[in-house]
Chains A and B, each alone.
Chain A
């Protein structure tokens, strides 16, 4: 049972355009959401996060939007750069069974073409 779903395994965009990566979750107990970025042969690195009390968080070229009613969040990268090419993992955090759980999606591979 996938609690965090990234339905697009890959996404390709042109340099300078907007990249939109989507993530859906099923568990209403999740109250914090994170995006991690992973380059080949490296560990994931934290990119941006959002609390469930907000609907938007922005950090430079990266903006995360949260729609709690739809249980959907998205990561916008504007403008996209070739160096943004990586796998992006959505993760959701919340109390489950009395302890804090962090659940990762399967990832979306973003390719930004020059």
Chain B
């Protein structure tokens, strides 16, 4: 019952460093998402993917890149980390994006940029 698995759980980055948050799902879902949650705020969509090879920007894509080479994996890359990217990141997946389709979330990755 793995569901959505994301790594690492915690990471501290220095300004200007780069890193990749890994995400994998074993539910054969077509749709995958990356959200960020800032303190006291709701979830903001960074990028999403409707299937292997297809990605699109969400509300807050600046400073991030994604790729979707397989159905299972959807890594999120930060090229030049900035303090504004300090946040909790959630990877998620769903069977489709139609109304009411349940989104399953990973446990989150806590990222601090200093």
With A43-B4, A43-B106 known to touch, is A93 a contact of B100 (CB < 8 Å)?
Answer: yes
Contacts of A51 in B (CB 8 A): 99-100
How many chain-B residues does the 8 Å CB contact rule pick out? Answer: 20
Among A49, A100, A105, A107, which residue has its beta carbon within 8 angstroms of that of B98?
Answer: A100
Residue from B4, B44, B99, B103 whose CB has the most chain A CB atoms within 10 Å: B99
Chain A, interface residues (CB within 8 Å), range: 20 to 34
Indicate if the CB atoms of A41 and B42 lie closer than 8 Å. Answer: no
How far apart sit A82 and B99, CA to CA, in the bound complex (Å)? 31
Chain A residue with minimal CB distance to B97? A100
Chain A residue with minimal CB distance to B99? A32
Per-position 1/0 for A17-47, Cβ under 8 A of B: 0000000000000011010100001111110
With A32-B99, A94-B99, A102-B103 known to touch, is A42 a contact of B42 (CB < 8 Å)?
Answer: no
User: Which of B's residues lie within 8 Å of A, judged by CB?
Assistant: 4, 40-45, 90, 92, 97-100, 102-108
Could you list 16 A-B pairs, sorted by A, with CB under 8 Å?
A32-B100, A34-B100, A41-B107, A42-B107, A42-B108, A43-B90, A43-B92, A44-B43, A44-B90, A46-B104, A49-B100, A49-B102, A89-B42, A102-B97, A104-B44, A105-B42
